[in-house]
Amino acid sequence: MMNDELKRQAAAMALTQVKPGMRLGLGTGSTARHFVDLLGVQVAAGFACICVPTSEATARQAAALNIPLSDLDTLDRLDITIDGADEIDPQLNLIKGAGGALLREKIVAAASDLMIVIADDSKLVDALGQFPLPIEVNRFGLGATRRAVALVCAAHDCAGALRLRQTSDGDSYVTDGGHLILDAFFGRISQPEALSTDLLNIAGVVQHGLFLKMCKKAYVAGADGVRTLSNGN
């Protein structure tokens, strides 16, 4: 089965958790896009909800589907955020941010009572780090921040490069918040909590793509159907 069909199946399962009147966080990426599409069909049929998007791309998609949108200035808390992931470990710790939306994704997930991740089973890993870890940094002082990030990565046994993310045109990739992204190719992240702390201690680091103890439930689709993974953290 194609990955895209699996992503849609995981998204459809998450939709079963959404009740009328809920306040939802809408993730970013190809899997979250399926969820927004499916939610749009429900909304067109009269389903009531209010949603906070995690990127300008998701906001545009949701607006085109007439999904009611709000923000975290207006809403204190959200009931559920539904989002994709780049890697999911056995404790449901995640790497996110391939789509560059990690900062808003983390803010929205942190403001939600429940974060549900939807994915195809290629995202399951024994340990995080095969996928490059996105580190969002301020444009100002990039050189100094990059050197500090490189030192932290080396101290955490980063096996590979630290690359400034670029667009296909060769320009620096700029996030919705106007920041840049450094992608760190670890190979394996053995102490994610300590790495998180060390990265956030660097002045120019805005956020990183480690989502630790944030996700309590995941719907992961594979050839045998959609599995529900959960943990009580």
Catalytic residue among 5, 56, 87, 105: 105
- Give the full edge-to-edge strand order of the sheet including 162-164: 162-164, 180-184, 133-137, 205-208
Would you say 106 or 146 has its CB closer to ligand 5RP? 106
Would you say 11 or 202 has its CB closer to ligand 5RP? 11
Phi, psi for residue 195 in degrees, rounded to 5: -60, -45
Q: Cβ(29)–Cβ(57) under 8 Å? A: no
Instruction: Work out how close the CB of 177 gets to ligand 5RP at its nearest, in angstroms, rounded to a whole number.
Output: 12
Torsion of CA 160, 166, 171, 177, to 10 degrees: -120
Would you say 30 or 91 has its CB closer to ligand 5RP? 30
Would you say 53 or 204 has its CB closer to ligand 5RP? 53
How far apart CA 77 and CA 24 sit, in angstroms, is: 9
* Binding residues for ligand 5RP (CB under 6 A): 27-32, 83-86, 96-102, 105
Give residues with Cβ within 8 angstroms of 184, minimum separation 6.
Answer: 132, 133, 135, 149, 153, 158, 160, 161, 162
Instruction: Work out how close the CB of 42 gets to ligand 5RP at its nearest, in angstroms, rounded to a whole number.
Output: 20
Structure tokens at 140: 């100002």
Instruction: Work out how close the CB of 105 gets to ligand 5RP at its nearest, in angstroms, rounded to a whole number.
Output: 6
| Residue 5 falls in the annotated catalytic set | no
Measured at the CA of 37, the angle between CA 35 and CA 41, to 5 degrees, comes to 115
Instruction: Work out how close the CB of 28 gets to ligand 5RP at its nearest, in angstroms, rounded to a whole number.
Output: 4
**What residues act catalytically?**
105
